[in-house]
A and B are shown apart, each in its own frame.
Chain A
Amino acid sequence: MTILELAGGFVSVDVPDGWEQASDPYPGIELVVVEPEQDGLFRANLVVTVTDVAMSFGDWQKGTDVFLAGELHDYLLLDLERMPVGGHPGARRLATHATAENQSVTVQQWMTLINGRGVTLSASCGTLAFATAGVELERSAHSLRINPSHTAAGSALGTPSRTTAPALYAPVTDTPPDGSSQTSTTGGAS
């Protein structure tokens, strides 16, 4: 694993050694790394974004759900839960979809909102490789660290409009969102 610092040190993440890094990702996309080519199979990849989010965490994620369902073919949302992300309150979603090349892909996305900056880490792999490649991708997700003190040093983002990540997707738990006890997700993003 190689540790990469992104967005002026606001985010750091471990990425698998030997993966190819995109040289010029779009604005807001801080990192794209892709596993080496394998016989035309879908290449597992990690994408980290840091964007200005001028809305609540719940509204941001509800909008993301609508966007993903509208943009991705054969999209199926499978799981959604609150959990710490990068040491901050956040959430994780699991979904599957089909690529334009008709490959089945499973994507896990971890997201959090800190001082108006939304951070997402998306880890995608071929569905039939999820039991193996998914584990390695999760290691990267668990290595994600966010340092709020670097907020001002990030890329050209607007002034943060919120300082907390409010409740999302209705009350989902009566215990800490640490995965150690009974938690719940809800189907409705109320």
Chain B
Amino acid sequence: MNPAFDADSGRIRLDATAFEALCRVADPASRSAAALASDAAPLAALHGSGALVDGVAHEALRPSLAAVQQPIASLQLLVTGSAGYRLHQGWLSVVSAVLADVGDGSYDFAAIGTEFVPTLVARMTRLGLRPHLGPASVAVTETVLAALAAHEAGPRAEAAQTLVSATASTWPAWSAAAQGGDWRFWVADVTWPAPADTAASANTATSDDTATSDDTGHRLAVLDTGAGLLRVDGDDSGPRLVAVTPTEVWHLLSSILPADDEVAAAAPS
């Protein structure tokens, strides 16, 4: 696809190849000889869109590219459902950047004020008015959760069917909605480098594929239907689904970014 760049907003829609080439332009030290050769076509397209001017990123893109180059923390937001799979990425800094998965092989890349990251997640996950489920919890397995997050539709559908059965007696309306295909599973991970002395034992370290073993962070995982919201919680006995309200989810989202003392502790001395 040809990139579509809007200089007024600093937003650009592009594919993964063009995005990687754009990042290498902003960080010349990362450009290997092989990358230089393979970047020729995407760079030409980026020039054509106006995102590059004389080989340099347009000034409207510089805040978002700066966040990609030197993030304080990273955001990964996975949203799956009966209809699809999307993986959004963010780089959090004084000004942050987001690469939103449009779902057709293209992405929207833009800068965003860091304090708007919770709103961004809320919009991408369609957080909003839902019935408030009765307080209860239901056990779920890691296998089912992993299948809900699968790229392939088959495992997701099988896992959803498992949830339909597991929740039928506790939250019948929720179960019926999931049975009808009205479900979404989303996982927001914000990670940052753990302090050197705690990296090996960080008890909040996430287990996704992109976070390294030296990362720590905050995770929020939610199962959503039109009948209500369930949060993935866990303890020594394993993961559980717990009824939550949109207010409780927003409360958790508003504190998902690292506190100043958390990232200060992670900063190299």
Question: Is B130's CB within 8 Å of the partner chain A?
Answer: yes
A181 to B134, CA, bound (A): 6
Which applies to chain B's interface (DSSP): helix, strand, loop or mixed? mixed
Known: A104-B118, A126-B115. A80 touches B129 (CB 8 A): yes
A183 an interface residue at 8 Å Cβ cutoff? yes
A94 and B247 contact, CB distance less than 8 A: yes
A81 within 8 A of B: yes
Q: Is the CB of B129 within 8 A of A76?
A: no
Residues from chain B with a CB closer than 8 A to the CB of A96 are 118-119, 122, 250
Q: Which residues of B contact A134 (CB under 8 A)?
A: 251, 254
B131 sits at the interface (CB 8 A):
yes
Chain A, interface residues (CB within 8 Å), range: 20 to 34
**Residues in B whose Cβ lies below 8 Å from that of A79:** 129, 245-247, 250
Contacts of B245 in A (CB 8 A): 79, 81
Point out the residue from B123, B131, B133 that lies within 8 Å of A76, measured CB to CB: B123
Partner among B122, B127, B129, B133 whose Cβ is within 8 Å of the Cβ of A186: B129
Number of interface residues of B (CB under 8 A): 24
Q: Which of A77-107 contact B (CB under 8 A)?
A: 77-81, 94, 96, 98, 102-104, 106
Of A104, A181, A185, which one neighbours B115 at CB under 8 angstroms?
A: A104
Across the interface, do B122 and A76 meet the contact criterion of CB distance under 8 Å? yes
B119 and A104 form a contact (CB under 8 A): yes
Considering only CB atoms, which chain A residue lies closest to B243 in the complex? A182
Answer whether residue A19 sits at the interface, using C-beta atoms and an 8 A cutoff.
Answer: no
The yes or no answer to A131 lying at the interface (CB within 8 A) is yes
- Tell me how far the C-beta of A181 lies from the nearest C-beta in chain B, rounded to whole angstroms: 6
Q: Residue of A at shortest CB range from B131?
A: A184
Name the A residues within 8 Å of B46 (CB-CB).
Answer: none
Tell me, yes or no, whether B128 is within 8 Å of chain A by CB.
yes
How far in angstroms is the closest Cβ of chain B from A44?
13
Give the complex CA separation of A103 and B119 in angstroms: 12
Q: Does B151 contact A (CB under 8 A)?
A: no
Interface string of A130-172 (1 = CB under 8 A from B): 1100100000000000000000000000000000000000000
| Partner among B113, B134, B246 whose Cβ is within 8 Å of the Cβ of A78 | B246
Asked, given contacts A104-B115, A182-B134, whether A77 binds B129 with beta carbons under 8 Å apart, the answer is yes
Expressed in whole angstroms, the minimum distance between the Cβ of A161 and any Cβ of chain B is 29
**Chain A hits for B228, CB < 8 A:** 184
> How many angstroms from the CA of A122 to the CA of B240 in the assembled complex?
35
**Complex CA distance for A73 and B220, rounded to whole angstroms:** 26
CA distance A104 to B253 in the complex (A): 13
Report whether A184 and B132 are in contact in the complex, using a CB–CB cutoff of 8 Å: yes
Question: A37 near B: Cβ within 8 Å?
Answer: no
Bound CA span A5–B251, Å: 30
User: Would you give the 0/1 interface string for A97-133, flagging 1 where the beta carbon is closer than 8 Å to chain B?
Assistant: 0100011101000000000000000000011111100
- Contact check, B118 vs A78: say whether CB atoms are below 8 A apart: no
Residue of A nearest to B115 (CB): A104
A98 and B247 within 8 A (CB): no
What residues on A are CB-neighbors of B115 within 8 Å?
A: 103-104, 126-128
Write out the residue numbers on chain A whose beta carbons fall within 8 Å of the beta carbon of B254: 106, 127-131, 134
Which B242-269 residues sit within 8 Å CB-CB of chain A?
245-247, 250-251, 254-255, 257
> Across the interface, which residues of B come within 8 angstroms of A76, CB to CB?
119, 122-123, 128
Nearest 8 A/B pairs, CB to CB: A184-B131, A182-B134, A130-B254, A79-B246, A187-B129, A131-B255, A104-B115, A79-B247
Which residues in B have some Cβ–Cβ distance to A below 8 Å?
Answer: 113, 115-116, 118-119, 122-123, 127-134, 228, 245-247, 250-251, 254-255, 257
Binding site for B on A (CB under 8 A): 74, 76-81, 94, 96, 98, 102-104, 106, 126-131, 134, 181-187
